[in-house]
Structure 1
């Protein structure tokens, strides 16, 4: 299968003889497991971490997301005709910047604010929660639009973290209702086939029928999709790829840097820790981001929950 080309279907088009196993091209998340797994991993990684308080806040946020999923599961069900039309055009059926959101996402946001453990939260986070509770539907929709389209204003950053968390729940639950057999990989292979968002990190598998496979994990709808390992996920280059890590680190997380486009993306190695979680381990490896940035590389795409990491508006 030619990288960055448009395959005739989302299925493997390579050899199929005995002994050759093909990785599933697309994996839909189980919403009832996705956020709980991230919360548990964050709690584990927070122990003794230099950013322990912040990681524990993120764990609280993930537990609140899990509570929303298991209580309300806000989502939309797309018709088969809409999905077929989108995939035929090689477009994501749940396009983040064009999808007409169902009002249930706002109900999910309200539930998330009710379920988050406010004990020990800094004043900025409490103020953001109060602001969101006072906001009307139009204001919330505008804030969501600005977040999804990259037009977020700095004063809204603290509130937008909770909006982003609610949108992750909504899009994850909506994507889970799709039939994976109806989906196709996009021509721009670095983007999610469900919602068109970039990945938060990639994971190199150590189990299953095709160990060693790289799956990219969507930053919004939690869908995973297969991507060739020896190819830059930003520009498709192959000649100047390198892996960077922190000396003395266990090697679970590394940065794949590209000397052609000067971007990087994170890789998680399941072989070093079977509990590795793309969402939690990305947040816990900010030190690697700083080192790679100092070397002149820009991140492939930001983690949507890192909007206030430097401004310290939510957690200290």
Structure 2
């Protein structure tokens, strides 16, 4: 199937991290694996890392997300007719910035906070403050995060809100009727929820190695995006790959001199165990160097909006 065409009636198959039979346009997340894979990878990367303690904290957060996903279970996606209407209008069926959320996400947030012991938290006061907020205040905080309109004073609380929303939208995306979906005209946005990607992965296995998939920072959906095309502006004339000299070459920044942004690319050939969500966090040093050189990141990692 070519990108943008009507999806076939057959089921979508494949695993973007393990190779696919053909370059599938999109692959829905598996909540049973998404967060536990990230937690395991963060633990593996933390040993000897300059940010070891922080990565281990993020690994614990991912483990808590996994537990919440298991407890929440399957969520009810939009009705089939609503999905088809959105797809026909070339809109994401889970539009994160406009969809009315199920209160289940707040239950997930409460479970997420319960999973932490007070003595290991970096900011117990932040967690206590979140527990004290009523439903209306929590929904306002979620709206601020999803619309990119946050108060600096809420930066600490947003980490946990973002983590809870990741679980909620990942569970929703997993329940969508995959055969009804198609990519958006704005190829750099998630076809399920319309959010920006956290990173791209270039596959190394399967019959079509070298395929690039972008991974949604919110609902964890992966979708195919042509290589050597800017994720931000779609230009291909002024791209370059920047990396840290002497490292393993797992992560590179694809910079664009047309719009002066960059997107992070991860290469499976360098490590078959990579996880886009974990490896993006662990390669923060690359972001710092590229940003200092004058390029702005295509979109932030939602778990890096604090500090």
Shared fold per TM-score greater than 0.5:
yes
Provide the alpha-carbon RMSD of the alignment: 1.4
The within-5 A match list for 1:278-289 is 278-289=276-287
Residue 190 of structure 2 is matched in structure 1 by: 192
Give ranges in structure 2 of 5+ residues lacking alignment. 9-20
Cα distance between partner residues in 1 of 2:299 and 2:152: 18
Aligned-partner SS, 2:269: coil
Q: 1:80 to 1:302 in 2, by over 3 A?
A: same
Cα distance between partner residues in 1 of 2:24 and 2:53: 37
Deviation string 1:33-87 (CA, Å, 9 cap, x unpaired) is: 0000000000111111111111111111100000001122373321001100000
Residue 264 of structure 1: how far off its partner (Å): 0.2
Cα distance between partner residues in 2 of 1:117 and 1:75: 28
Contact residue 170 and residue 219 of structure 2 kept, 8 A: yes
Q: Given the alignment of the two structures, is residue 7 of structure 1 paired with residue 34 of structure 2, yes or no?
A: no
Q: How many pairs does the alignment contain?
A: 295
Match of 1:127 among 125, 128, 144: 125
Contact residue 80 and residue 177 of structure 2 kept, 8 A: no
Cα distance between partner residues in 2 of 1:142 and 1:76: 23
Match of 1:247 among 242, 245, 248: 245
Aligned-partner SS, 1:271: helix
Residue 180 of structure 1: how far off its partner (Å): 1.1
Residue 15 of structure 1 is matched in structure 2 by: none
Cα distance between partner residues in 2 of 1:180 and 1:146: 29
Match of 1:148 among 142, 146, 149: 146
Residue 120 of structure 1: how far off its partner (Å): 2.6
Cα distance between partner residues in 2 of 1:89 and 1:148: 22
**What TM-score, normalized to structure 1?**
0.91
Residue 163 of structure 1 is matched in structure 2 by: 161
Give ranges in structure 1 of 5+ residues lacking alignment. 12-20, 312-316
Residue 299 of structure 1 is matched in structure 2 by: 297
Residue 307 of structure 1: how far off its partner (Å): 1.2
Contact residue 204 and residue 269 of structure 1 kept, 8 A: yes
Cα distance between partner residues in 1 of 2:188 and 2:87: 16
Residue 66 of structure 1 is matched in structure 2 by: 66
The within-5 A match list for 1:6-25 is 7-10=4-7, 22-25=22-25
Residue 99 of structure 1 is matched in structure 2 by: 99
Residue 201 of structure 1 is matched in structure 2 by: 199
Residue 273 of structure 1 is matched in structure 2 by: 271
Deviation string 1:189-218 (CA, Å, 9 cap, x unpaired) is: 000000000000000001123111000000
Residue 44 of structure 2 is matched in structure 1 by: 44
**What TM-score, normalized to structure 2?**
0.93
